Amino acid sequence: MAKLQLNNLYGYFGRKQIGLITSNVKNDELLNVLSSRVVKSINPLNDDYSSILTYSNVNHDMLQSLNNEFQSIGTDTNYVMSNVAIAAAVTSYARIHMIPFKIDPNTLYTDTDSHFTTKPIDPTLLGLDIGLMKDELKGQVIQEAYFLGPKKYGYYIIDKDGIRKEFSVFSGIPRNSLSFEEVKQIYNGASITKTISNRFYKSFKNLNITIKDSTITIKNTNDKKLVNNRYLPPVINSG
């Protein structure tokens, strides 16, 4: 609960001052909305209605000239309490804290708050308290691992009973959906196709939500290449 409160507080400080509002309007009233709101998208529903996504902030100078009144962010009844400077400071201090781990030559991979290393971590940095690192493998050692890029890696361990356990993280699919052999194949240039069950799809046109399986192809893209725990920019061939 304490961690949830900290994360929520940080998130509130980093909120945008501009919100989004989804509403259904009659098609013959769209012109009035376009003249007073900043519209992000319009999705026709039928011959009579459309679903529109608008920014909650309005152009006050334009509204004054049109003599219209609309509720917007910043009023007493709808005010966003945010402070980007505080949120940026929290992020910056977190980055400063992780820098020693990132530049450590024994580090294989780091993410927001994770650290894969070839040497034991200082025991004073481990624990269950907020701010300390957690040993998710509980003292066990990774036997082999492949780190392909941000949130794209796989590894396996041999537990105390001699049983091999495989783990994988790949953005876009559920955790541990890939076997270690499949991670190796992707590293070597292969494409792996996976079926993801029970995905939710929404339709603005029909105003309904459907649940169905989907197929996704996973491959090692070159947009963010990981070398020695450093993300290299993509190579652009010119001429």
pLDDT of residue 35: 76
Kindly report the pTM of this predicted structure. Answer: 0.64
Give the rounded distance of the alpha carbon of 133 from its chain centre: 21
- Tell me how far the alpha carbon of residue 117 is from its chain's centroid: 24
- The pLDDT value recorded for residue 58 is 56
Handedness of CA 75, 59, 88, 108 (dihedral sign): positive
Q: Residue 90 region, left (φ>0) first, then alpha (ψ -120 to 50), else beta? A: alpha
> Phi and psi (nearest 5°) for 18?
-105, 120
Per residue in 47-100, pLDDT tens?
Answer: 888 888 887 655 556 555 555 544 444 444 555 667 888 889 988 998 898 899
